[in-house]
Amino acid sequence: MSTVLDIENLSIDVKTKKQNFNIIKGIDLKIGKKMKYGIVGESGSGKSLTSLAIMNLLPDVLNISEGSITLKTENEKDLTALTKRQMQHVRGNEISMIFQEPMTALDPLYTIEHQLLEVLRFHTKLSKKEMRDLGLEMLEKVGISRGKEIFKSYPHQLSGGMRQRVMIAMALICKPKLLIADEPTTALDVTIQAQILDLMNDLSETNDTSILMITHDLGVILETCERVAVMYAGQVVEETTVRELFKNPKHPYTQGLLESIKTLGDRGKSLYSIPGNVPTPPQYQEMGCRFATRCPYAMDICKTKEPDMIEVEHDHKSKCWLHVEEDAVHE
Protein backbone atom coordinates (compact mmCIF):
# COMPACT_ATOMS: atom_id res chain seq x y z
CA MET A 1 0.00 0.00 0.00
CA SER A 2 1.43 3.40 -1.01
CA THR A 3 2.02 5.89 1.81
CA VAL A 4 0.18 9.22 1.94
CA LEU A 5 1.64 10.56 5.20
CA ASP A 6 4.92 9.54 6.82
CA ILE A 7 5.76 10.90 10.28
CA GLU A 8 9.26 10.08 11.54
CA ASN A 9 10.61 10.76 15.04
CA LEU A 10 8.34 13.77 15.62
CA SER A 11 9.10 15.68 18.82
CA ILE A 12 7.46 18.88 20.05
CA ASP A 13 8.86 21.17 22.76
CA VAL A 14 7.45 24.01 24.85
CA LYS A 15 9.63 27.10 24.96
CA THR A 16 8.84 29.91 27.38
CA LYS A 17 10.93 32.52 29.16
CA LYS A 18 10.87 30.45 32.34
CA GLN A 19 11.32 26.87 31.09
CA ASN A 20 11.78 24.56 28.12
CA PHE A 21 10.59 20.97 28.11
CA ASN A 22 9.44 18.20 25.76
CA ILE A 23 5.75 17.28 25.43
CA ILE A 24 5.66 15.03 22.33
CA LYS A 25 8.50 12.59 21.71
CA GLY A 26 9.49 10.19 18.94
CA ILE A 27 6.20 9.79 17.07
CA ASP A 28 6.43 7.43 14.07
CA LEU A 29 3.32 6.91 11.93
CA LYS A 30 2.69 5.76 8.36
CA ILE A 31 -0.74 6.25 6.80
CA GLY A 32 -1.44 4.48 3.50
CA LYS A 33 -3.68 5.47 0.61
CA LYS A 34 -7.40 5.16 1.53
CA MET A 35 -6.36 3.86 4.97
CA LYS A 36 -8.38 4.66 8.06
CA TYR A 37 -5.86 5.15 10.85
CA GLY A 38 -6.75 5.81 14.49
CA ILE A 39 -4.93 7.53 17.34
CA VAL A 40 -6.43 6.77 20.75
CA GLY A 41 -5.58 7.77 24.31
CA GLU A 42 -6.68 9.74 27.36
CA SER A 43 -7.14 13.50 27.32
CA GLY A 44 -3.71 15.13 27.47
CA SER A 45 -1.90 12.28 25.73
CA GLY A 46 -0.86 14.46 22.78
CA LYS A 47 -3.33 13.29 20.11
CA SER A 48 -4.61 16.72 19.10
CA LEU A 49 -1.15 18.30 19.26
CA THR A 50 0.09 15.70 16.79
CA SER A 51 -2.72 16.60 14.39
CA LEU A 52 -2.03 20.34 14.80
CA ALA A 53 1.64 19.70 14.01
CA ILE A 54 0.62 17.98 10.77
CA MET A 55 -1.51 21.02 9.84
CA ASN A 56 1.24 23.44 10.96
CA LEU A 57 -1.19 25.06 13.39
CA LEU A 58 0.78 24.73 16.63
CA PRO A 59 0.61 27.68 19.06
CA ASP A 60 3.63 30.00 19.07
CA VAL A 61 4.99 28.61 22.35
CA LEU A 62 5.30 25.14 20.80
CA ASN A 63 7.79 24.12 18.15
CA ILE A 64 8.84 20.96 16.35
CA SER A 65 12.31 20.20 17.70
CA GLU A 66 12.96 16.97 15.79
CA GLY A 67 11.57 14.78 13.05
CA SER A 68 9.77 15.14 9.74
CA ILE A 69 6.18 15.04 8.46
CA THR A 70 6.23 14.00 4.82
CA LEU A 71 3.13 14.31 2.63
CA LYS A 72 3.39 11.99 -0.36
CA THR A 73 0.78 13.15 -2.83
CA GLU A 74 1.58 14.67 -6.24
CA ASN A 75 4.83 16.21 -5.07
CA GLU A 76 6.48 14.74 -1.96
CA LYS A 77 7.04 17.48 0.63
CA ASP A 78 8.19 17.81 4.25
CA LEU A 79 5.43 19.83 5.92
CA THR A 80 7.77 20.96 8.71
CA ALA A 81 9.93 22.79 6.14
CA LEU A 82 7.13 24.71 4.39
CA THR A 83 6.55 28.42 4.88
CA LYS A 84 3.18 29.68 6.12
CA ARG A 85 2.25 30.73 2.60
CA GLN A 86 3.18 27.34 1.13
CA MET A 87 1.23 25.56 3.87
CA GLN A 88 -1.89 27.59 3.06
CA HIS A 89 -2.02 25.87 -0.34
CA VAL A 90 -1.79 22.45 1.35
CA ARG A 91 -4.50 22.99 3.97
CA GLY A 92 -7.99 22.40 2.66
CA ASN A 93 -6.64 21.17 -0.65
CA GLU A 94 -4.33 18.20 0.07
CA ILE A 95 -5.00 17.87 3.82
CA SER A 96 -8.23 18.86 5.57
CA MET A 97 -9.26 18.75 9.20
CA ILE A 98 -12.55 18.36 11.04
CA PHE A 99 -12.14 20.09 14.39
CA GLN A 100 -13.45 18.82 17.69
CA GLU A 101 -16.26 21.34 18.14
CA PRO A 102 -17.84 22.71 14.93
CA MET A 103 -19.54 25.56 16.78
CA THR A 104 -16.14 27.08 17.57
CA ALA A 105 -14.61 26.14 14.19
CA LEU A 106 -17.37 27.84 12.17
CA ASP A 107 -17.48 31.65 12.14
CA PRO A 108 -20.76 32.88 13.67
CA LEU A 109 -20.67 36.09 11.57
CA TYR A 110 -20.85 34.41 8.15
CA THR A 111 -23.43 32.22 6.43
CA ILE A 112 -22.79 28.56 5.68
CA GLU A 113 -22.57 29.41 1.96
CA HIS A 114 -19.82 31.98 2.52
CA GLN A 115 -17.75 29.62 4.67
CA LEU A 116 -18.24 26.52 2.53
CA LEU A 117 -17.36 28.26 -0.75
CA GLU A 118 -14.38 30.09 0.77
CA VAL A 119 -12.32 26.90 0.36
CA LEU A 120 -13.14 26.82 -3.35
CA ARG A 121 -12.41 30.53 -3.79
CA PHE A 122 -8.92 30.02 -2.41
CA HIS A 123 -7.97 26.74 -4.07
CA THR A 124 -9.82 26.75 -7.41
CA LYS A 125 -10.63 29.02 -10.35
CA LEU A 126 -14.26 28.03 -10.66
CA SER A 127 -16.97 30.56 -11.48
CA LYS A 128 -19.45 31.66 -8.81
CA LYS A 129 -22.15 29.43 -10.30
CA GLU A 130 -19.81 26.43 -10.47
CA MET A 131 -18.76 26.93 -6.85
CA ARG A 132 -22.36 27.27 -5.71
CA ASP A 133 -23.42 24.15 -7.63
CA LEU A 134 -20.49 22.17 -6.20
CA GLY A 135 -21.31 23.42 -2.69
CA LEU A 136 -24.94 22.30 -2.97
CA GLU A 137 -23.82 18.95 -4.39
CA MET A 138 -21.45 18.46 -1.45
CA LEU A 139 -24.15 19.28 1.10
CA GLU A 140 -26.37 16.67 -0.53
CA LYS A 141 -23.55 14.11 -0.32
CA VAL A 142 -23.26 14.66 3.43
CA GLY A 143 -26.99 14.10 3.89
CA ILE A 144 -28.31 17.67 3.85
CA SER A 145 -31.23 17.72 1.39
CA ARG A 146 -32.36 21.35 1.78
CA GLY A 147 -29.02 22.83 0.73
CA LYS A 148 -30.33 26.19 -0.56
CA GLU A 149 -32.00 26.86 2.79
CA ILE A 150 -28.89 25.82 4.76
CA PHE A 151 -26.72 28.07 2.55
CA LYS A 152 -28.52 31.11 3.99
CA SER A 153 -28.27 29.91 7.60
CA TYR A 154 -25.73 30.86 10.26
CA PRO A 155 -23.97 28.21 12.41
CA HIS A 156 -26.06 28.90 15.52
CA GLN A 157 -29.24 28.12 13.57
CA LEU A 158 -28.15 24.52 12.92
CA SER A 159 -28.13 21.48 15.19
CA GLY A 160 -24.87 19.85 16.30
CA GLY A 161 -25.25 17.06 13.76
CA MET A 162 -25.95 19.51 10.92
CA ARG A 163 -22.94 21.66 11.83
CA GLN A 164 -20.75 18.55 11.84
CA ARG A 165 -22.05 17.60 8.38
CA VAL A 166 -21.23 21.10 7.14
CA MET A 167 -17.70 20.74 8.54
CA ILE A 168 -17.29 17.42 6.71
CA ALA A 169 -18.54 19.02 3.49
CA MET A 170 -16.01 21.87 3.90
CA ALA A 171 -13.20 19.41 4.61
CA LEU A 172 -13.91 17.19 1.59
CA ILE A 173 -15.07 19.68 -1.04
CA CYS A 174 -11.59 19.86 -2.62
CA LYS A 175 -11.12 16.06 -2.41
CA PRO A 176 -8.04 16.05 -0.14
CA LYS A 177 -5.79 13.01 0.06
CA LEU A 178 -5.84 13.08 3.88
CA LEU A 179 -8.67 13.97 6.27
CA ILE A 180 -7.84 14.52 9.94
CA ALA A 181 -10.87 14.05 12.19
CA ASP A 182 -10.26 15.29 15.75
CA GLU A 183 -12.97 13.83 18.01
CA PRO A 184 -15.60 14.37 15.29
CA THR A 185 -18.46 12.78 17.25
CA THR A 186 -17.77 13.81 20.86
CA ALA A 187 -20.63 16.31 21.20
CA LEU A 188 -23.19 14.22 19.30
CA ASP A 189 -25.75 11.70 20.51
CA VAL A 190 -25.23 8.02 19.69
CA THR A 191 -27.60 7.92 16.69
CA ILE A 192 -26.05 10.96 14.99
CA GLN A 193 -22.57 9.69 15.88
CA ALA A 194 -23.20 6.46 13.96
CA GLN A 195 -24.51 8.41 10.96
CA ILE A 196 -21.46 10.70 10.90
CA LEU A 197 -19.01 7.78 11.10
CA ASP A 198 -20.82 5.91 8.30
CA LEU A 199 -20.81 9.10 6.23
CA MET A 200 -17.05 9.60 6.68
CA ASN A 201 -16.38 5.99 5.69
CA ASP A 202 -18.53 6.29 2.54
CA LEU A 203 -16.95 9.59 1.46
CA SER A 204 -13.47 8.19 2.09
CA GLU A 205 -14.15 5.36 -0.35
CA THR A 206 -15.74 7.69 -2.91
CA ASN A 207 -12.96 10.31 -2.85
CA ASP A 208 -9.98 7.97 -2.27
CA THR A 209 -9.25 9.88 0.95
CA SER A 210 -7.20 8.53 3.86
CA ILE A 211 -8.57 9.29 7.35
CA LEU A 212 -6.62 9.99 10.54
CA MET A 213 -9.18 9.50 13.31
CA ILE A 214 -8.28 11.05 16.67
CA THR A 215 -10.43 9.95 19.59
CA HIS A 216 -10.52 8.70 23.18
CA ASP A 217 -13.33 6.29 22.26
CA LEU A 218 -12.14 2.75 21.49
CA GLY A 219 -15.59 1.97 20.06
CA VAL A 220 -15.08 4.58 17.33
CA ILE A 221 -11.67 3.06 16.55
CA LEU A 222 -13.16 -0.43 16.30
CA GLU A 223 -15.95 0.74 14.01
CA THR A 224 -13.98 2.93 11.60
CA CYS A 225 -10.24 2.14 11.55
CA GLU A 226 -7.85 -0.46 10.15
CA ARG A 227 -4.71 0.44 12.13
CA VAL A 228 -4.31 2.18 15.47
CA ALA A 229 -1.65 3.92 17.55
CA VAL A 230 -2.17 4.16 21.32
CA MET A 231 -0.74 7.37 22.80
CA TYR A 232 0.15 8.06 26.40
CA ALA A 233 1.88 11.14 27.84
CA GLY A 234 3.14 12.38 24.49
CA GLN A 235 4.38 9.05 23.13
CA VAL A 236 3.05 6.18 21.03
CA VAL A 237 3.16 3.14 23.33
CA GLU A 238 1.56 0.56 21.02
CA GLU A 239 0.89 0.33 17.28
CA THR A 240 -0.75 -2.46 15.26
CA THR A 241 -3.92 -3.40 13.38
CA VAL A 242 -7.21 -2.70 15.14
CA ARG A 243 -8.14 -6.38 15.13
CA GLU A 244 -4.84 -7.38 16.75
CA LEU A 245 -5.06 -4.61 19.36
CA PHE A 246 -8.46 -5.76 20.64
CA LYS A 247 -7.54 -9.43 20.42
CA ASN A 248 -4.03 -9.28 21.89
CA PRO A 249 -3.07 -5.96 23.56
CA LYS A 250 0.59 -5.91 24.62
CA HIS A 251 1.20 -2.68 26.52
CA PRO A 252 -0.16 -2.46 30.12
CA TYR A 253 -1.74 0.91 29.33
CA THR A 254 -3.68 -0.55 26.38
CA GLN A 255 -4.75 -3.47 28.54
CA GLY A 256 -6.05 -1.00 31.12
CA LEU A 257 -8.01 0.95 28.49
CA LEU A 258 -9.67 -2.20 27.19
CA GLU A 259 -10.37 -3.44 30.72
CA SER A 260 -12.21 -0.19 31.51
CA ILE A 261 -14.77 -0.72 28.73
CA LYS A 262 -18.18 -1.65 30.11
CA THR A 263 -20.03 -4.42 28.24
CA LEU A 264 -23.53 -5.85 28.53
CA GLY A 265 -22.23 -8.99 30.23
CA ASP A 266 -20.58 -7.04 33.04
CA ARG A 267 -23.77 -6.28 34.95
CA GLY A 268 -23.00 -6.03 38.65
CA LYS A 269 -19.26 -5.86 38.06
CA SER A 270 -17.35 -2.78 39.26
CA LEU A 271 -16.01 -0.57 36.46
CA TYR A 272 -12.22 -0.84 36.21
CA SER A 273 -10.13 2.33 36.14
CA ILE A 274 -6.39 2.79 35.72
CA PRO A 275 -5.01 4.03 39.07
CA GLY A 276 -3.20 7.36 39.38
CA ASN A 277 -3.05 10.31 36.98
CA VAL A 278 -1.33 11.12 33.70
CA PRO A 279 1.99 12.88 34.49
CA THR A 280 2.39 16.50 33.43
CA PRO A 281 4.96 17.46 30.75
CA PRO A 282 7.49 18.93 33.24
CA GLN A 283 7.49 15.53 35.00
CA TYR A 284 8.36 13.66 31.79
CA GLN A 285 12.02 14.67 32.01
CA GLU A 286 12.46 12.93 35.38
CA MET A 287 10.87 9.63 34.33
CA GLY A 288 12.00 6.47 32.57
CA CYS A 289 8.81 4.90 31.25
CA ARG A 290 6.09 7.55 31.45
CA PHE A 291 3.51 4.94 32.51
CA ALA A 292 5.65 3.49 35.32
CA THR A 293 3.83 5.25 38.19
CA ARG A 294 0.49 3.70 37.13
CA CYS A 295 1.67 0.33 35.84
CA PRO A 296 0.93 -2.86 37.86
CA TYR A 297 4.00 -4.55 36.33
CA ALA A 298 6.53 -1.75 36.88
CA MET A 299 10.13 -2.81 37.58
CA ASP A 300 13.08 -0.79 38.85
CA ILE A 301 14.35 -0.13 35.32
CA CYS A 302 10.96 1.32 34.33
CA LYS A 303 11.46 4.23 36.73
CA THR A 304 14.92 5.18 35.48
CA LYS A 305 15.26 4.20 31.80
CA GLU A 306 12.89 4.70 28.88
CA PRO A 307 12.07 1.54 26.86
CA ASP A 308 12.37 1.42 23.07
CA MET A 309 9.48 0.82 20.72
CA ILE A 310 10.05 -2.77 19.58
CA GLU A 311 8.22 -5.26 17.38
CA VAL A 312 6.91 -7.88 19.80
CA GLU A 313 5.05 -9.82 17.11
CA HIS A 314 4.68 -9.45 13.35
CA ASP A 315 3.29 -5.98 12.61
CA HIS A 316 2.74 -5.30 16.32
CA LYS A 317 4.93 -2.82 18.24
CA SER A 318 4.97 -1.96 21.94
CA LYS A 319 7.01 0.41 24.10
CA CYS A 320 7.49 -1.61 27.28
CA TRP A 321 10.30 -3.31 29.23
CA LEU A 322 8.11 -6.40 29.62
CA HIS A 323 8.88 -7.29 26.02
CA VAL A 324 12.67 -6.97 26.34
CA GLU A 325 14.79 -10.03 27.06
CA GLU A 326 15.39 -10.51 30.81
CA ASP A 327 19.19 -10.18 30.52
CA ALA A 328 18.85 -6.75 28.89
CA VAL A 329 16.43 -5.55 31.57
CA HIS A 330 18.85 -6.42 34.39
CA GLU A 331 22.01 -5.05 32.74
Rounded Cα distance between 239 and 218, Å, is 14
Count CA atoms closer than 13 A to 288's CA, side-chain side: 18
Please work out, in degrees rounded to the nearest 5, the angle formed at the alpha carbon of residue 286 by the alpha carbons of 281 and 290. Answer: 65
Could you give the domains of the chain? 1-82+181-331 (3.40.50.300), 102-175 (no CATH)
How large a percentage of the chain has pLDDT more than 70? 94
pLDDT tens digits along 200-220: 888 778 878 899 999 988 888
Is pLDDT above 70 for 331?
Answer: no
Please work out, in degrees rounded to the nearest 5, the angle formed at the alpha carbon of residue 267 by the alpha carbons of 266 and 270. Answer: 75
Rounded Cα distance between 184 and 195, Å, is 12
pLDDT tens digits along 53-103: 999 999 988 999 999 999 987 788 999 999 888 998 898 889 998 887 777
Nearest to 275 by CA among 300, 251, 299, 292: 292
**pTM for this predicted structure:** 0.89
How large a percentage of the chain has pLDDT more than 90? 49
Question: pLDDT band for position 327 (50/70/90)?
Answer: very low
CA quadruple 150, 152, 153, 154: dihedral positive or negative? positive
